[in-house]
């Protein structure tokens, strides 16, 4: 004989009136983060030009306001009884042990990138980062991964330089790129 119990209704009946305090804590954190972003953005000098008509302050102010709006919407949702589905959205089997080899390989790829970015430049260190990350995550198509890694590092190098006006270190490829 089985019991036909709807877990969602069962867990909802145990939930205290007005929502979970932990979720309100997340709301408070988001609101605090939004206020900090706005306060920090007010310290940015307001300057506009013909090439940058909105100035550097606009995006952080917009992000701060969005964080406040998200916090407010989340508070309303929690107060109305909204809850995330526990563990159903996760694709992680908590019974398995941590794959330390993969974690250490990923950390190694980031450390190699951090150490080599100044002397060799972003394109080479970024390619090593992308290739190393693919290797750490189990992809064994070495040549294809190298071609993709070099392409990604070149695309990001020029995207930062042309699109954002931020020059990443060129390193040994200075004058070639």
Pure H helices in the chain: 7-14, 21-42, 58-79, 100-120, 122-136, 142-158
The confidence band for 6, taking pLDDT boundaries of 50, 70 and 90, is: very low
Q: Is the pLDDT of residue 1 over 50?
A: no
Whether residue 158 is predicted with pLDDT greater than 80 in this model: the reply is yes
Sign of torsion over alpha carbons 159, 129, 136, 88: negative
Read off the tokens for 174. 């200075």
| CB 149 within 8 Å of CB 124 | no
Mean pLDDT of the chain: 85
Q: What H or E segment, with its residue span, contains residue 95?
A: none
* Nearest-10 Cα torsion for 119, 123, 128, 129: 100
**Token pair 């200075």: residue:** 174
Record the tokens describing residue 13, joined without a space.
């009946």
168: how many CB neighbours lie within 10 A of its CB? 20
Q: What is the pLDDT of residue 17?
A: 57
Q: 94 or 43: which carries more pLDDT confidence?
A: 43
pLDDT value at position 49? 74
User: Which residue from 36, 59, 64, 34 is spatially nearest to 46, judged by alpha carbons?
Assistant: 59
Per-residue pLDDT tens over the stretch 54-106:
778 888 999 999 999 999 999 999 888 887 666 665 677 777 888 899 999 99
Backbone angles phi, psi at 156, to 5 degrees: -65, -35
In tens, the pLDDT along 139-157 reads: 999 999 999 999 999 999 9
Q: Which of 57, 60, 64 is nearest to 30 (CA)?
A: 64
Q: Where are the domains of the chain?
A: 18-46+53-80, 100-173
How far is it, in rounded angstroms, from Cα 85 to Cα 153?
A: 38
Q: 68, 32 in Cβ contact below 8 A? A: no
């Amino acid at each position: 004989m089985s019991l036909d119990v709807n877990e969602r209704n069962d867990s909802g009946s145990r939930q205290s009136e007005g929502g979970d305090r932990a979720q309100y804590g997340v709301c408070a954190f988001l609101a605090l983060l939004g206020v900090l972003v706005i306060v920090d953005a007010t310290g940015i000098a307001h300057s506009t030009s013909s090439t940058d008509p909105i100035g550097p302050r606009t995006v952080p102010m917009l992000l701060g306001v969005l964080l406040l709006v998200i916090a407010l919407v989340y508070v309303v949702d929690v107060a109305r009884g909204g809850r995330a589905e526990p563990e159903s959205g996760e694709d992680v089997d908590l019974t398995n042990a941590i794959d330390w080899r993969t974690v250490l390989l990923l950390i190694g790829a980031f450390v190699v990138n951090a150490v080599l970015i100044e002397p060799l430049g972003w394109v080479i260190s970024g390619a090593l980062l992308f290739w190393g990350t693919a290797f750490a995550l189990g992809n064994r198509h070495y040549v294809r991964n190298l071609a993709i890694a070099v392409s990604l590092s070149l695309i990001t190098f020029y995207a930062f330089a042309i699109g954002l006006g931020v020059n990443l270190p060129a390193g040994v490829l200075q004058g070639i790129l």
